[in-house]
Amino acid sequence: MNILDQETMLALFHSYNLLFIGGLFIFAFCLTFYLIPKVLWVSKEKNLMAQVNDRSAHSTAIPSFGGVAFYVTIILLLTTLQSLRLTYVGNHLIAAITILFMVGIKDDLVVSTARVKLFGQIAAVCFLIFSPELQLNTLNGFWGIYEIPPVVGYSINATIAIALINAYNLIDGIDGLASMAGMVIAGVYAMVFYMTGNSYFVLVSTGVMGILTAFLRFNFSRGRRKIFMGDSGSLVIGLLLAFLTIKILVMAPNPSLIAEGYDPSNRLLLIACVLFLPAFDTLRVMIIRMTNKTSPFSADRNHAHHVLLDLGFTHFRASFSLALLNLMVISGFFFLAPLVSNLWLSFITILMYAVSFFLFSKLKVLTEQKAKPTYSDAFFEEEDIKEERKEREVELEISGN
């Protein structure tokens, strides 16, 4: 029996669906877990480390080439999945991933300009948005909008993809955050794809979860096994999440979900809730920078994870708290979607963003107050007593002379 034969693969997939999905998760996890130590060894032998700067959340030089293990695992995974021939979009995805991996690995090695990164992202995204299976032709009644011109569909898909790639890259600032966020997003998408019968996309989502789960073990390590995903990792994972997001937006309405009250017109709102963490954090940081009349692309410590770290959270607690917040927003969507109209759900989604913005603004004020020395009335009384003693000592010395 040839296990890579299309008929054999399809038979295994249809006969043992959940087992096949679980096996793919284990495959992605084990391969990533095996490859990362190899990447670590090469990085240390060649002294390829992420150096410490004033915004770093780490105090020692750490290898930042986790993306190499990601890329190898993803390419092997996608190549194997192509044996199923469920879709040809995988070929376009492999091309897009390869472009962004090259851009990311160059940035990890010698630092790339923002223009080079943007050109690479545009080139990669073109492989996705022009793929026939990912063309957006309708918004399914979102705010009363149905059919849209092809150029508008391409623009929406491109904007979502490029924005998500960069937003995911920006949240990769502390240990575990990008991985946990990616696992939450991929996990929710896997559930939606499973419920709607999009088998290929279930498997891709599961593969992403397996890769990030394995990476967490090394990202949280405190010893010599610690590694970062780097730009080569965050750009590739960001692209995969963008690929899955576009599929959510363009897939055909599912009668069973519609019967349960999940209207296709709410898909943009579903995306806004599933991608809450990277979207909210990026929007918040951009608004703060523009309010302060600085470049929206300038580096600072206004990210949500920086706020939590400055409050005394550990990397794990900060990452887990933000991932939990994302899950709460997603749960709110699934609870409310069958109960309220599209306009009301839009208002509630915007309100969740606004409340989170207000909350982290207050937390930021707390961190600034914590950074400043605070003095009680007792402190000032003690200082006055010390000053009086000094004056008396001076008077005694003068009278003694």
Binding site, residues? 169, 231
SS3 content of the chain, % helix, strand, coil (to 5): 75, 0, 25
52: Cα within 13 Å, side-chain hemisphere: 5
Q: Which residues contact 45 (CB under 8 A, 6 or more apart)?
A: none
* Short-list 126, 145, 104, CA closest to 267: 145
CA–CA separation, 244 and 259 (whole Å): 24
Cα–Cα distance between 303 and 48 in angstroms, integer? Answer: 27
Q: What are the beta bridge partners of residue 62?
A: 50
Nearest-angstrom CA–CA distance, 318 and 263: 34
- Which residues does the annotation place in the binding site for Mg(2+)? 169, 231
Residues in a beta bridge with 138: 147
The Cα–Cα gap between 135 and 132 comes to 6
How is residue 252 annotated by DSSP?
P
Write down the H helix ranges in 53-176. 66-81, 89-110, 114-129, 150-171
Q: How far apart (Å, rounded) are the C-alpha atoms in residues 352 and 59?
A: 35
